[in-house]
Amino acid sequence: MQLRKGNLIKKIGLLVSISLLSLVFFAELALSAETGPMPKRSFKNNGAEIYNILPDPADCLSEVFKKGMYYGRLRLNSFYYDNYDSSVHDPTGFAVGGSLIYKTAPLYGLSGTAGFYAAHNLGMLEKEDALFGKTGKDTFSRYDRLKDGDWNMTVLAQAYAQYSILKTDIKVGRQIYESFLTASNDTKFIPVTFEGYTIYSEYIPATTVSLAWLTAMKLRDHTSFHDVITYDDRQNDLYTYHGQNYFLDSYDSMDDGSAHKGLSYTRLKTAGEDVENDLVIAGVGNKSIKNLQVDVWYTGVPDLFYSLMAEPNYDIALPDGWVLTPGFRYMQQFDNGAGEIGGAALNGRLAGRSGHYNGYRDADSVDASLYAARLVLKKGAGNIMAGYSKISDDSDLITPWRGFPTGGYTRTMGESNWQADCKTWMIQAFYDFEKAGLVKGFRASIDFVTTDEDDKKELLNGDSLGTDRYVVHSDLWYRFPSFPDLEAKLRLKFLDADRRTYASKAGENPSYSDIRFELNYLF
């Protein structure tokens, strides 16, 4: 009964969302086709925010708030997940929410920003359904729901002071920080944000410099900040459902799908390591050479591990306005004690082991490499990309901060493909119909991805390990010309995967369909 109820709720949510989209669409057709003014704020295709209009500088203290500006957002998200194995339950329905961000006017370069976010799941679900949410779990906090029975999320996710001078911004406090391996990943309701200190500078000609010392973070489905790496495996808060115990501590710590569960509170304490860690990041981008973009990033958790990444992209002009851009990405992950504590596998099942085990060459080391290459062919409103990535047969990459190491090359919606000995190919096409003068406000992308996993590693029987799979994914955006602050987005994903072979889930079919719909109104 519970499974049927969950599926019914999801279908109702999807139908309601489509109905709302239809109403807005026909209302749009009935109004003038003239394009409205530029929105104060807009978003990239990946959810990263862009401020088109900022407060004018203040001349005195009384103007700091008088000239300040707010940026509002209302959102509706609906999720429909259909796993081909009927035993898999994903009851996450649909939800509404929004955010209100306020920026003071800068006075002598000093300013402040505060961002308040809220989400409310409208699935009318049972309390236990919070245990099984997958695609839409970021519409509520598992910890808050199971601990206090609260479906709502409200959080002050941004609160920082900023000083700007010489094309350089210095921020202190809670903030969004975009880098190679960190991202707001704002595709649901509440973005990933960090506490700490950051510097971003364009003072050096043709060069960007980004530095960060981050002391805590908040994932999208959390309402409190926590350590940047520690998975909390303590068993303080117990929740029992159908005779099975669930320990809630992990839901209020680093429990991202790419978290390294071997770097747990218990194991770090036993090893004499700190459970309150920092994330240190440094990045440089340079365009001094014509048509060449070079990026270099360092990302590390002191005393545990760090990584270096280098990426060149070069534009080659072709006849008839076409441009071909080959790109290459190399990332090396270095062990600095993490492997001996948590093991080479993200699911933590290699902790305490050494040598060759279940396909991993060195079970107690997190040394690993990523090789990725792509070709992008673009002209005008469209582009086509072919990409490839390979992870060395050593360790999984530790990247739980929602920036994806294969992003822009082979990563597609809901997929992680940075496990050891994982190889992925992608073909992707994007077209901006408005830029082409065909349909105002409409753009679309589609990609096909195939991933080859190491079958031996599936024997670890962990959630983070997948099987070989094929994915077709498409994103559709429509910004209403008469309401440039209103945008609808539809995401479609169809995954066909090999059946699982390890003992506890032998024969299970992990194939599924994933449909997501979102309405965004900016004000």
At the second CATH level, the architecture of 2-522 is Beta Barrel (2.40)
Question: Quick check: 485 and 383 in contact, CB under 8 A?
Answer: no
Q: Which one has a higher pLDDT value, 11 or 69?
A: 69
Q: How confident is the model at residue 435 (pLDDT cuts 50, 70, 90)?
A: very high
pLDDT at residue 124, rounded to an integer: 61
Read off the pLDDT of each residue in 59-70 and give the average, rounded to a whole number: 95
Whole-number Å distance between alpha carbons of 177 and 73: 20
Residue 49 CB neighbours (<10 A): 17
Q: Which of 369, 301, 309 is nearest to 338 (CA)?
A: 301
pLDDT at residue 405, rounded to an integer: 98
Does residue 425 surpass a pLDDT of 70? yes
Considering only 36-45, 63-72, 511-520, which range has the smallest mean pLDDT? 36-45
Read off the pLDDT of each residue in 335-349 and give the average, rounded to a whole number: 95
| Residue 400 CA, distance from chain mean position | 9
Q: How confident is the model at residue 357 (pLDDT cuts 50, 70, 90)?
A: confident
Q: Which one has a higher pLDDT value, 156 or 148?
A: 156
Q: What percent of the chain has pLDDT over 70?
A: 89
Does residue 497 surpass a pLDDT of 80? yes
**Amino acid identity for residue 202 in this structure:** E
Whole-number Å distance between alpha carbons of 211 and 278: 13
Q: Which one has a higher pLDDT value, 339 or 504?
A: 339
Does residue 185 surpass a pLDDT of 80? yes
What is the 3 state secondary structure string of 95-145? Answer: EEEEEEEEECCCECCEEEEEEEEEEEECCCCCHHHHHCCCCCHHHCCHHHH
CB neighbours of 243 closer than 8 A, spacing ≥ 6? none
pTM: 0.89
pLDDT at residue 147, rounded to an integer: 87
pLDDT at residue 91, rounded to an integer: 67
Whole-number Å distance between alpha carbons of 30 and 24: 10
Q: Which one has a higher pLDDT value, 295 or 121?
A: 295
Considering only 203-207, 241-245, 251-255, 444-448, which range has the smallest mean pLDDT? 241-245
Does residue 345 surpass a pLDDT of 80? yes
When the pLDDT of each residue in the chain is averaged and rounded to a whole number, the result is 89
Read off the pLDDT of each residue in 503-523 and give the average, rounded to a whole number: 86
Does residue 23 surpass a pLDDT of 70? no
pLDDT tens-place string over residues 273-332:
999 999 999 999 999 999 999 999 999 999 999 999 999 999 999 999 999 999 999 999
